[in-house]
Structure 1
Amino acid sequence: MPNDFLPTIESEIDQEDRGVQPWDIDAIVAALRDARRRSQRVISAGNRRAPIPSPELLQQVVTRLYASLFPRHAGAVDHSEEGLAFFVGSTLNEALHLLSEQVRREQGFIDPGRLGLGLNTRPAEIIVAEFTQKLPGIYELLESDIRAAYDGDPSARSTEEVLLSFPGVKAIIYHRIAHALHALGSPVVARIIAESAHSQTGIDIHPGAKIGGNFFIDHGTGVVIGETVIIGERVRIYQAVTLGAKRFSVNEHGALVKGEPRHPIVEDDVVIYAGATILGRITIGRGSSIGGNVWLTHSVAPQSTIVQAQARSETFEQGAGI
C-alpha cells in the first residue's frame, strides 16, 4: 500500500480496541523486517528509503492529462476560448508537477544498469518537459483513434459517445500517454499507467508496443498486446485477441533475455477477429484478415484471409470408426 495512505489507516483504528491481543505484533514486525532484508529483488537500488511511485497519484496524473486533452468532456465549465485555455493551463500544470514527482521517485529506487535497460537517467523535469512536447501529437493520434472507433462500430451514435464510454478508446488513451513516457526513459511509471488501464478495461497493452494511428479495439475484454509488438495504420482488432510471444530466450545463466523482439508485426489495414492468437516475431501482411479463434505462428502475405479449418462432420455406423 502506498506510503501516502498509511496515516489514514492509523487514524481509523479505535484506541479502545488496543487491549489484550492474541498476537505478538513486535515479533511479527521484526520478522517482516528480516524478510525484507533477505530480499534479493533486482529492482532495488542503494537507497531503500526512497519513496516509490504511487499508482493512485499516477491515476490522478492521467485524469488531469485526459482533461487537458479533452477539456470540454472532462469538467471545463467555461467553454469560451479564454475559459478553456485557463482550464487546460491549470489542469495540465497540476498533472506535470505530479508526474515529475513520480518520475523522480522511479529514478530514486530503480537501477537501470542492473536491469540492463540502458536508460539515460536524465532529470525528471527534463523527461516531463520532453513529454509535454509530445502532447499535440498524442492528441492528433487519439483523434484518429476516436474517429476509427466511430466509423468502425455501427452502434456508435457520436464521437462523444465513443470518447466517453468505449473501453477500447480508454485503453488507447492510457497507452498513448504510457508509450511516450516509456520511450523517454520512465518504464516503471509507464507500466503503472498501462496496468491502470488494464484493470479498468480488461485490455492489456504493454507501454513499449508501437501502435499507429486510426487504431480501434472493439469490445476489448481480454486483448493482450506485448512489449515489442508493432502495429501499423488503420488496424482493427476484436475482443480476446492475443499478440504475444511464442518463446522466450534465456542467457547462459538461465535468466530470461529482456527486450528482444518477440511479438508480431501487424501491417496497415489489418483486421483481427475475436479470439485470434498470433505468436512470435511474425508479420501479418498489409490488408490481411485474420479470422476468429485462429492460432497463428507464421507470417502471412499481404491481402491474406486466414480462417479456421472447418470442422468435419461424419456419421459412424455398425462400429465403423472405432
Structure 2
Amino acid sequence: MKNIEPKIKKLTADILKDYGQGRTIDKMNAFTSPDMDVVVDILDKLQKILFPGYYRNKNYHFYTAENNLQTLIEDVLFNLTKQISMYLRYLPEYSNADYRTGMERAQEIAMEFLSRIPKIRDLVETSVQAEFDGDPAAFNKDEIIFCYPGMYAIMVFRLAHEFYDLGVPMLPRIMSEYAHGKTGIDIHPGATIGRFFFIDHGTGIVVGETTVIGDNVKVYQGVTIGALSTRGGQNLRSKKRHPTIEDNVTIYSGASILGGETVIGHDSVIGGNTFITMSVPPGSNVSIKSQELHISSKGRPDAEAKDLDQSATWFYTI
C-alpha cells in the first residue's frame, strides 16, 4: 500500500488526541499502575510455595528445600511489596502518601500475608481431601492437584481472601478474575468458605462477595450463589447480599440460590436447576418437579424447622 507512513502518523495523532479527554480510560500513568502480569507471576510462585513437590522453579537448581523456599519467598516479598504499594494508593489514607510510607506499609502487609501461608496450606489440603473422597473418577490426589479446575480456583480464592482480609484494594479481585478466566469459576475473594470445600467440574459457578459457606459443602457446575438484585448499586456495599450455606450441603448443577437473608440449612441437598430465594430448613431435599419446587424434610427435629410438619411435603410455585 502506497503512502502508508503518513496514514499511520495520522491514526496515531487522532488516537493521542482522543486520549486527552480526561476520561477514566484515558489514564496514561502505566508505570505507576498495578501490573497484571506481575500478579500472575506472583500467583505462580505462591503455587510453588503451597505445593513444593508438584510445581518447581525450573530456572534454578537447589540442593536444599530451604534454599529453594527462601529464594521464592524473597522473590514474592519483593514483587508483592511493590504491587501492594500501588494498590494502597486507591485508599484515601494512602492516596497522597510519600513513596517510603507506602512501601513500608506494603511490606508489612506482604509479610503478614506470607506468615499466613501455613493456614492457607491447611485449608487447601482439606479441599484436596474432599475432592478425592467425593469424586470416584479421581485416580489419586496428584491428579486433583494437577488437573482439577476447582482445585485451582479454591487455591487462588484462599490466597486472594487473605489479601481481602488485610484490606488490600483490587489485588484480590485481579487474582480471582485470573482464576475465573482460567477455570470458569468465579469466587469473590470476600466470600467466607469453610473447610473441605469441594467443587465438582466447576464451569459456570458464581459465589458472591458476602456469601458464607460452612464446612463439607459440595458444589457442582453452573451453580450461582448470588444477590437478588443490584439495583441499589453502591448503596448496598458492605451489606449482606448473598446467601448462607450451612455445613454438609450439596448443591447440584444449575441451581441458583439468591439473597442475603436466604439460609440453606445444614445437611440439605439442593437439586439441579432449582431457583431459591427463601431459606430452606436443615435436612431438606429440594428439587424441581414439573413447574413446582419440591422441598421434602428428612424428619430431623431441628429447631429451625419447628413450624413445619416434618412428615409433609411442601410445594412452592416458581
Q: TM-score range by the shorter chain?
A: 0.7 to 0.9
Q: Does 1:96 align with 2:77?
A: yes
In the superposition, relative to structure 1, how do residues 39 and 175 fare at CA in structure 2: closer, same or farther (>3 Å)?
closer
Letter in 2 for 1:24: K
Residue 92 of structure 1: how far off its partner (Å): 2.1
Does the residue aligned with 1:214 lie in a helix, a strand or coil? coil
Partner residue, 2:112: 130
Does the residue aligned with 2:225 lie in a helix, a strand or coil? strand
- Residues 178-219 of structure 1 deviation map (CA, whole Å, 9 limit, x = unaligned): 000011011300000000000000000001001111001000
Does the residue aligned with 1:24 lie in a helix, a strand or coil? helix
In the superposition, relative to structure 1, how do residues 310 and 38 fare at CA in structure 2: closer, same or farther (>3 Å)?
closer
Partner residue, 1:160: 142
Do the aligned partners of 1:127 and 1:185 also contact (CA within 8 Å) in 2? no
In the superposition, relative to structure 1, how do residues 138 and 255 fare at CA in structure 2: closer, same or farther (>3 Å)?
closer
Q: Does 1:53 align with 2:39?
A: no
Partner residue, 1:19: 5
1:289 pairs, out of 252, 260, 269, with 269
- Residues 10-69 of structure 1 deviation map (CA, whole Å, 9 limit, x = unaligned): xxxxxxx9733266145324422322x14499xx9xx96761111111010011011011
Q: Does 1:28 align with 2:11?
A: no
Do the aligned partners of 2:81 and 2:110 also contact (CA within 8 Å) in 1? yes
- Consecutive unaligned residues in structure 1, runs of 5 or more: 1-16, 115-120, 313-322
Cα distance in 2 for residues equivalent to 1:18 and 1:159: 58
Letter in 2 for 1:266: I
Letter in 2 for 1:99: L
Partner residue, 1:8: none
Describe how 1:65-84 pairs up with structure 2 within 5 A.
65-75=46-56, 83-84=64-65
- Residues 228-273 of structure 1 deviation map (CA, whole Å, 9 limit, x = unaligned): 00100010000000000002363xxx75431211000001100000
> What's the TM-score, normalizing by structure 1?
0.80
Describe how 1:160-199 pairs up with structure 2 within 5 A.
160-199=142-181
Letter in 1 for 2:48: A
Do the aligned partners of 1:275 and 1:293 also contact (CA within 8 Å) in 2? yes
Q: Does 1:64 align with 2:45?
A: yes
Cα distance in 1 for residues equivalent to 2:44 and 2:14: 38
Q: From the two aligned structures, give the one with the greater strand fraction.
A: 2
Letter in 1 for 2:6: V
> What's the TM-score, normalizing by structure 2?
0.81
Partner residue, 2:213: 231
Cα distance in 2 for residues equivalent to 1:261 and 1:58: 29
Do the aligned partners of 1:216 and 1:236 also contact (CA within 8 Å) in 2? yes
Partner residue, 2:243: 264
Q: CA RMSD in A?
A: 2.8
Does the residue aligned with 2:195 lie in a helix, a strand or coil? coil
Cα distance in 2 for residues equivalent to 1:168 and 1:259: 27
* Number of corresponding residues: 280
Higher relative contact order (CA 8 A, sep 6+): 1
Q: Does 1:210 align with 2:222?
A: no
- Residues 81-123 of structure 1 deviation map (CA, whole Å, 9 limit, x = unaligned): 9722221221122112111111111123x14479xxxxxx881
Cα distance in 2 for residues equivalent to 1:153 and 1:245: 29
- Residues 110-148 of structure 1 deviation map (CA, whole Å, 9 limit, x = unaligned): 14479xxxxxx8811111111012110000000000000
Q: Does 1:106 align with 2:92?
A: no
In the superposition, relative to structure 1, how do residues 33 and 192 fare at CA in structure 2: closer, same or farther (>3 Å)?
same
Do the aligned partners of 2:88 and 2:169 also contact (CA within 8 Å) in 1? no
Cα distance in 2 for residues equivalent to 1:67 and 1:279: 36
Cα distance in 2 for residues equivalent to 1:64 and 1:98: 11
Cα distance in 1 for residues equivalent to 2:139 and 2:120: 24
Does the residue aligned with 2:257 lie in a helix, a strand or coil? strand
